[in-house]
Structures are given as structure tokens and as C-alpha cells.
């Protein structure tokens, strides 16, 4: 019995201090997660006017690559000018003037951190954070003794959460 209580106590202590340690990054993930929900809208974005000198006589097909715009769609071409969404490119001068919408600096950094890929320099931290969250999920079962009513109520909430998660995944 003492060994089980000792293990439970260690889990509680690790849970507590790991929680304190990760409060900053959990806040970043929470806020950036909310911002990422609205990534298909312009709700948090600021409009920026850009003027860029690129090569002259670029074709409409080249323009997207030169301006690093993946989904550039040309609306019309006339008088050596290529018109596209929120901008115009002069083929004679090589000047492209256009508007883009970007997140403010800190929100942009937070969302890139949240959505890191394996090629990003800090992806190991994202893995650590994911493992820490998994630990929080498991260690929460060691916060109360299994025979107590609060633990049993916790199991009902766990079951409800699992059912809700499955429903959301399947819908």
C-alpha cells in the first residue's frame, strides 16, 4: 500500500511542477489554436501594401513563383500589365504592386510554432509538449485515491469526454 501511495504521490508532484513549468507554452498553444481556427478568414490579419521589383517580361505563369504566391490567379492582361487579386504587375518595369494580409508579428510566430513540421528547428519541443500533455492526461488519474467518490465521478467525466471525442471525430 505504501508503495502505491508513493507512486501516486510522485505522479502528483510531477504533474504539479510540470504544469507550472509549461503554463507559458500552454497559453501560447491555446491562443494560437484559437487563431488557427480562423485561418481561413481575415479576422486577425493586417493589410500590408508591397511594391516589389522582379524581372521584366515575366509571364502570368511565372508571376506566382516570382512573388511567392501559391494561388495567384490572373484576372486580366492588357497594356503590358498583369492584374491579379489585390495587385498589378508591370511587365516593362518589372514592378509588382500588391496587397497581402498577414497576422501581426507575435500571432504569426505563435501560429508557426503551433503548426511546426519535422523540418522546423524546434520540432523536438513540440514533441516534448505533446508527450507532456499525454502525461497530464494519464497522471490526472493519480490525483485521487481510486476508492474515493471524487475519483469515481472523475471516471464518469472521463467516459463522457471519450464519447464526445469519438462523436466529434466521426461527424
Tell me: the pLDDT tens digits for 75-104? 999 989 999 988 999 999 999 999 999 999
Q: Are residues 136 and 122 in the same domain?
A: yes
CA-to-CA distance for 114 and 76, rounded, in angstroms?
38
What number is the average pLDDT over the span 47-52? 94
69 and 118 in a common domain: no
Q: Are residues 129 and 98 in the same domain?
A: no
Q: How many residues does the chain have?
A: 171
**Would the pLDDT of 147 be above 60?**
yes
Residue that is last in its domain, among 78, 102, 126: 102
Sign of CA dihedral 149, 6, 138, 120: positive
Dig out the grid coordinates for 8 from the structure. Answer: 501516486
Three cell numbers, residue 37: 481556427
pLDDT at 2 > cutoff 90: no
Q: Which of 102, 122, 137 is the last residue of a domain?
A: 102
Domain match, 115 and 35 both: yes
Task: Count the domains in the chain.
Answer: 2
What's the whole-model pTM score? Answer: 0.69
Give mean pLDDT, residues 113-117: 86
Q: Residues 34, 61: one domain? A: no
Last residue within a domain, chosen from 102, 126, 150: 102
- One domain, residues 34 and 52: no
Identify the domain containing residue 71 by its residue range.
46-102
Q: Is the pLDDT of residue 22 over 80?
A: yes
Q: Are residues 83 and 113 in the same domain?
A: no
Instruction: Examine the domain organization and report whether 51 and 77 are in the same domain.
Output: yes
Amino acid at each position: 500500500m505504501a508503495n502505491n501511495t508513493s507512486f501516486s504521490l510522485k505522479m502528483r508532484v510531477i504533474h504539479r511542477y510540470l504544469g507550472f513549468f509549461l503554463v507559458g507554452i500552454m497559453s501560447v498553444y491555446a491562443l494560437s489554436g484559437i487563431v488557427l481556427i480562423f485561418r481561413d478568414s481575415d479576422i486577425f490579419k493586417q493589410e500590408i501594401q508591397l511594391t516589389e521589383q522582379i524581372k521584366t517580361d515575366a509571364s502570368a505563369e511565372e508571376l506566382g513563383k516570382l512573388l511567392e504566391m501559391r494561388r495567384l490567379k490572373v484576372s486580366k492582361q492588357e497594356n503590358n500589365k498583369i492584374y491579379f487579386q489585390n495587385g498589378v504587375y508591370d511587365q516593362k518595369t518589372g514592378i509588382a504592386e500588391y496587397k497581402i494580409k498577414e497576422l501581426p508579428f507575435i500571432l504569426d510566430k505563435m501560429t508557426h510554432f503551433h503548426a511546426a513540421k519535422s523540418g522546423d528547428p524546434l520540432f523536438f519541443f513540440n514533441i516534448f509538449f505533446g508527450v507532456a500533455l499525454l502525461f497530464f492526461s494519464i497522471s490526472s488519474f493519480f490525483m485521487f485515491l481510486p476508492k474515493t467518490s471524487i475519483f469515481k465521478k472523475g471516471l464518469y467525466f472521463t467516459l463522457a469526454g471519450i464519447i464526445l471525442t469519438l462523436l466529434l471525430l466521426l461527424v
